[in-house]
Amino acid sequence: MGPHAMKAGLYYQHSQKPQSAFAYVNGQIYFDNSSSNPFDSSHPYANAALGIYNSFTQASAFVKPNWVYTNLEWYVQDNWKATDKLTLDYGVRFYYLTPQWDSDEKAANFKPQTS
């Protein structure tokens, strides 16, 4: 376009990432000392060797939320040779980025019921 050399571009990315919620599905056993446990040996290693545990926790389900985000970018750029000794190179770039969110709504722990 005469002394102008214009460029424009567009980039779009939509991502889905099913990822574990990192819950302890295999369970965790705690062999800590507990004065309320009548079988406590007063030493965690001895408790483990004897099979005396203080508590056991395990996730009730293997939760795998589907994390989704969108990335949209666009730009317009111009290189204008105004004179033989003056060239202007300018442009503008825009971004639209959404935060990652769980499309399956499995990652949240609290959902109040209205009924």
User: What is this structure's pTM?
Assistant: 0.52
pLDDT at 94: 97
Question: Quick check: helix, strand or coil at residue 111?
Answer: coil
Domain ranges of the chain: 1-20+66-109, 24-58
Question: E strands along the chain, which residues?
Answer: 4-18, 28-30, 55-57, 66-81, 87-97, 101-102
Per-residue model confidence (pLDDT) at position 39: 85
Tell me the pLDDT of the chain (115 aa) as tens digits. 789 999 999 999 999 988 776 666 677 888 888 888 888 888 888 888 988 888 888 777 777 888 899 999 999 999 999 999 999 999 999 999 998 888 887 776 555 666 5
Q: Residues 80, 64: contact at Cβ < 8 Å? A: no
Determine the pLDDT at residue 51: 86
Environment class of residue 74 by beta-carbon count within 10 Å: exposed (0-12), middle (13-18) or buried (19+)? Answer: middle
Q: Which amino acid is at 36?
A: S
The helix/strand/coil state of 49 is helix
Residue 29 neighbours by CB under 8 Å, 6+ apart: 53, 55, 56
pLDDT, position 40: 85
